[in-house]
Amino acid sequence: MRNFVRSLLARRHYALVNLRVARSTKFLLPGHLMSMFAARRVNCVLDVGANRGDYGAMLRASGYAGRIVSFEPASRPFEEVRARAAADRDWQVRKLALGAAADEAELNVFASMDLNSFLRPNALAGDISGGGTRVAVAERVSVRTLDSEFDAAVRGIADPRVFLKLDTQGFDLEVLRGARESLPRVVGLQSEVSFKPIYDGAPRYAEALAYYESLGFRLTGMFNVVEEERSGHVVEMDAVLFR
């Protein structure tokens, strides 16, 4: 019943608010997504960098009832998201990374699996994670392009209205470079942008946002992901953009 009410409100651009957590910017993201999904008739979410499946679970808890296709290359979190999605007939899970070209690559799997990345973490990452950037294993994973996976992801949807969520720990732009043919069929995207990069070689927020704008997307909201505890400075934010 709660999910039904949330879905009904989202179609009218409202969201249920728990006043005890309303000041949290992390809480504001689901409401923003549900409002925008309703306005843009989103019926398929490509969850790239799914990790344990928290994003898909958040969407379901917020009232989203359309298709979710989660991509997760690392073995342990893949098993967790697959188990989480097992009872959901419209939540698919693929054991793949997405990138600029089809390949195999070494993924750094860290003690804190939320930080798994093809890139190497810097000192700031170690400070923020409390030591979670110790490499547990370098896992060889399959990389494909979004162009090669897109048709299978939307198969069976009469009029696909696709939202692309990216959380690849510094690799988001590479995913889009492998989506030149399919990206015109994407109505919106979410990307974790870095104000203080925690990986060597990761783009800063201004570069990322300029690239997304060059592809025809415009910012509709930004939401804190992590800040430096002592200074309060923003490290990463989730940027949501639509055409």
DSSP 114-173: GG-BSSPB-HHHHHHHTSTTSEEEEEEEEEE-HHHHHHHHHTT-SS--EEEEE--SS-HH
**What range defines the domain where residue 35 resides?**
2-100+144-242
CA gap 227, 196 in Å, rounded: 9
| Domain-embedded: residue 138 | no
Model pTM score = 0.85
| Domain-embedded: residue 189 | yes
Query: So what's the pLDDT on residue 22?
Result: 41
pLDDT in tens, 150-170: 999 999 999 999 999 999 888
pLDDT in tens, 88-127: 999 999 999 999 999 998 888 876 656 676 667 766 665 6
The structural domain count of the chain equals 1
pLDDT in tens, 79-99: 999 999 999 999 999 999 999
| Domain-embedded: residue 30 | yes
| Domain-embedded: residue 226 | yes
| Domain-embedded: residue 192 | yes
| Domain-embedded: residue 194 | yes
53 φ, ψ (degrees, to nearest 5)? 100, 15
**CATH classification of the domain holding 84:** 3.40.50.150
CB count within 10 Å of CB 33 equals 29
CA gap 142, 148 in Å, rounded: 13
